[in-house]
Amino acid sequence: MEWQIMAYDEVSSTNDVGKELSLKPPSKYFVVVAQSQTSGRGRRGRVWHSPKGNLFMSLVFPMELRHLNDMVFLVSLSLYESVMAFSPQAEVKLKWPNDVLINSHKISGILLEKGENEYIIAGIGVNLVSAPQIRDRLLYPAAPLKDFGIDVSCQDFLTTYLKFFDANFELWLEKGFSSIREKWLSHAIGLHQEIKVNLEKESKIGIFEGISENGALLLRQKEKIIPILAGDIFYKKEN
């Protein structure tokens, strides 16, 4: 893809700018990048701390909204592959639905949103040099890549990420979500192991059997398979 880079010193959030620009797109595919965000946000309305030195970007591209769940896994898979490109020996894993972990530490955040004119916005924050020290009830504390000996600039990481994203996007176009799902699951934590899933009003325990065609976690309880669209998962050693 031919990505146009839209660079800013400071924004409220790159997703906000991406949505505004999608009203009149500067090009078919564009990326909003900022040195800092004043109102960065993550999933479920959580605040995303945005100190300078880390990478804050939003990929903005035309996509039917029905494919949004596919993109969640494509975006996180590309992030996994980008980190591995800089440190092939790193203990990097994917956690459903879109967390990228190194040694049980979160090194990134992903937030997909609907833009205007049938655009999708994939907001991505990567802790390159620093991470917020917020440990209240967090099973996976945040950490920067620098702590794991991965020294990379924002520009180099962005370039690498776009390369992997483009390759995975082409794979998705050619072979569909099943090809992305297969790659994603090959790097996932806890596949075919017992997990606990905390839902809004209850918890369920079962075997993590994979993900469905719409991105739901498949939890097996005896002979029954339960699809779960949203929840926090914990592995047996963490229960």
pLDDT tens column, 215-227: 999 999 988 999 9
Q: Within 10 A of 158 (CB to CB), how many other CB atoms are there?
A: 22
pLDDT by 10-residue block (mean), the chain, 239 residues: 95 94 97 87 52 90 95 97 96 94 92 95 95 63 93 97 98 97 95 90 92 94 92 72
Extract the tokens encoding 99: 């967390």
The second-level CATH assignment, the architecture, of 194-238 is Roll (2.30)
pLDDT tens for each residue of 132-168: 765 544 567 889 999 999 999 999 999 999 999 999 9
pLDDT at residue 161 in the model: 98
| Residue 151 CB partners (closer than 8 Å, separation 6+) | 145
With both helix axes pointing from N to C terminus, report the angle between 154-175 and 177-185 in degrees, rounded to the nearest 10: 130
**E strands in 173-236:** 194-198, 203-211, 217-221, 224-228, 232-235
CATH class of the domain defined by 3-185: alpha beta
**Reported pTM:** 0.91
Q: What are phi and psi of 80, to 5 degrees?
A: -55, -50
Tell me the domain boundaries of the chain: 3-185, 194-238
